[in-house]
Amino acid sequence: MTVLSCGGRPLDLSRPRVMGVLNVTPDSFSDGGAYLAAEQALKQARRMAGEGAAVIDVGGESTRPGAADVPIEEELRRVVPVIEAVAAELDVVVSVDTSKPEVMRAAVAAGAGLVNDVRALRAPGALEAAAELGVPVCLMHMQGEPRTMQRTPRYDDVVGEVVAFLSDRIAACEAAGITRERLLVDPGIGFGKTVEHNLGLLKHLDALSELELPVLLGVSRKSFIGAVLDRAVEERLYGSLALAALGAWQGAALVRAHDVAATADVLAMCQAVRDAT
């Protein structure tokens, strides 16, 4: 599968593409508070689209460690106007980063063509909503919940357990009527995982190829990069780009990034080498 149908917009994954991060939250770990106003968010979306983002991922609830829950009404207030504006103006796929079925429905009605769910449709009603909506869904692995996921993450075999979890969620989706042609998977780097767990998953990212679905990789500016390099969040570009290259080389189809232009260049060079004779 190289082209996903995202609410009427095609997403060509025959080469690795960039998913630009657009957090309309006050408390996201990297860009919280930067794009709260719809016009600010639209301006950032324009910039990312111009820099090569194929997808703009709009999120209204932070999933950083320790993040507080956001009421449905507040999440809707944050994301719906931004999704409407971006979908109306830009020729990109708009993704909604949410776990709530009510937000999924409103976002797709506003123009979102992809659901990006850190809970892999495990919230009550989410599986049914996704089946009804008919747009592609990204299923992410997370051990625990955002508030507590980094306290004591434990695995006997992190790669095997992540693959098994995603395989189970794929089966649940198929049983609910969501075909494989509508699915992507994400190993959930940084979600309920230690530095060592994250590095192990990245070393063996190609193990996800057995699922035979496009892989989304989110590593941009994450805390384990800071732990390895001793860098503050605003100093993690080079670490993020190194991991984007490693991910693309192992088959990642989408790389979720704050720094779109630099990431797009990295992915293009990886693809050029792969295509060389």
Residues recognised as catalytic: 222, 256
CA atoms of 159 and 41, how far apart (whole Å): 36
Task: Spell 123-135 as b/e; 16+ CB within 10 A means b.
Answer: eeebbebbbebeb
CA atoms of 61 and 98, how far apart (whole Å): 7
**Amino acid residing at 210:** E
- E strands along 7-67, which residues? 9-12, 17-23, 53-59
Cross-strand bridge partners of residue 137? 115, 183
Burial bucket for residue 149 (CB in 10 Å: 0-12, 13-18, 19+) = buried
**Amino acid residing at 224:** F
